[in-house]
Amino acid sequence: MREVDPRSRYSRRFVLKAAAASVPAAAIATGLASEAWAEGGTLQPATLKTLVKAARDIYPHDFLVDSYYIAAVTPWNAKAAADPKVKIMLEGGVKQLDAAARAAHGQAYVDVAWEADRVALLRSIEATAFFKAVRGDLVVSLYNQKELWPKFGYEGASADKGGYLNRGFDDIDWLPKA
């Protein structure tokens, strides 16, 4: 069984200094580049923004920032550039989703405020090729980001460390004791 040291490795002073230094940098970065990731690709910026919002609604994790969802959706730009059918499918799927949102809520999908309303819109198109392709791709492109693994408690591959039987098979410290 693994032993977890419950003591913090960082002092209060270190945390406060790091927070004070990072807040202005984050404010500048998000203010200047918040929409830059969607510009200059094959897909329209509105399509990419809708895909990011849909990705967050399909696989919702409140503790993840949007940059992970952006990283998961951005490869669709290259796929759309390589195959015009993919571009047509994505642009058409987003238009269909926006049309459903406008009919139900009078605004585009990304502007619908309540997550439950957006999920209902996604359920209405879940049988389409667009939804199946996006959901299927997100399983890999979102959860295969190594930076995310520690956030979900995944320690990575164990083959080089003797396998799960020798390391981690019965480490269930996140479940309450029965």
Q: What is the pLDDT of residue 30?
A: 44
The model's pLDDT over 61-107, given as tens digits with 9 standing for 90+, comes to 999 999 999 999 999 999 999 999 999 999 999 999 999 999 999 99
Q: What is the pLDDT of residue 33?
A: 46
Q: What is the pLDDT of residue 78?
A: 92
Length in residues, the chain: 178
How far is the C-alpha of 27 from the C-alpha of 151, rounded, in Å?
Answer: 23
Q: Which regions in the chain score pLDDT beneath 50?
A: 24-33
| Residue 73 neighbours by CB under 8 Å, 6+ apart | 48, 51, 52, 55, 138, 141
pTM for the whole structure = 0.73
Q: What is the pLDDT of residue 25?
A: 44
